Amino acid sequence: MELFVFVVAAAMILAGAIGVVVRSHPVHAALSLILTLFGVAVMFVAQEAHFLAAVQVIVYAGAIVVLFLFVIMLLGVDRTEDIKTEPFKVQRPLAVIVGLGVIGLVTAAVVASRDVVSSRGSGLVTPDMADPDSNIRQLSRSVFGDYVVAFEVTSVLLVVAVVGTVLLTRRVKPVVEKAS
């Protein structure tokens, strides 16, 4: 069962990711991104990160992809892009080589060190029927206990991001000359 879930979710993730890269229409790319994000949410559930799976669906698939689609529609770039012609002859082969190199190196490192990482700490509490919200409680103890300073700094970051975006996208009104 666990294997079945892993295989299906991995197929969703990889199909969506390849779709983002190869689909020439930006809206199709955004929809492929949703497929990947849902697959990652399934993986989060399989790894006992239930709260993060909910946040993944709400924040990523709900808010960020909608923001992407909104900007695509707003800018009117929702037309098929010509991706057959490549501007530089060597760009795509080099990019594929770099990608395969990244995958190969990380995979080699992961496989070589698969027995090194060992368990420590008190361990994750697996939620069950008797205590269904244990994952949320554990996560909130961590966020509001150990990492409370980082949490407060994050609020500053969000304020800065919102104010900066408003300043960036504001249209400067043309100065109207007063008719004298």
| Binding to another protein in span 125-154, by CB under 8 A | 138-139, 141-143, 146-147, 150, 154
Please pick, from the candidates 8, 131, 152, 165, the single residue that binds another protein as defined by CB under 8 A. 165
Regarding 35 and contact with another protein (CB under 8 A), the answer is no
* Cα 26 to chain centroid, rounded: 17
Regarding 178 and contact with another protein (CB under 8 A), the answer is no
Q: Which of residues 93-112 bind another protein (CB under 8 A)?
A: 94-96, 98-100, 102-103, 106-107, 110-111
Non-local (6+) Cβ contacts of 139 within 8 A are 51, 52
* DSSP code for 146: I
Q: Which of residues 50-79 bind another protein (CB under 8 A)?
A: 51-52, 55-56, 59-60, 63-64, 67-68, 71-72, 74-77
Nearest CB to another protein, comparing residues 123 and 179: 123
Q: How far is the CB of 23 from another protein (least distance, A)?
A: 8
Q: What is the 3-state secondary structure (H, E, C) of 77-140?
A: CCCCCCCCCCCCCCHHHHHHHHHHHHHHHHHHHHHHCCCCCCCCCCCCCCCCCCCCCHHHHHHH
Check if the beta carbon of residue 6 is closer than 8 Å to that of residue 40: no
Please pick, from the candidates 92, 132, 133, 152, the single residue that binds another protein as defined by CB under 8 A. 92
Please pick, from the candidates 84, 89, 117, 174, the single residue that binds another protein as defined by CB under 8 A. 117
Check if the beta carbon of residue 43 is closer than 8 Å to that of residue 8: no
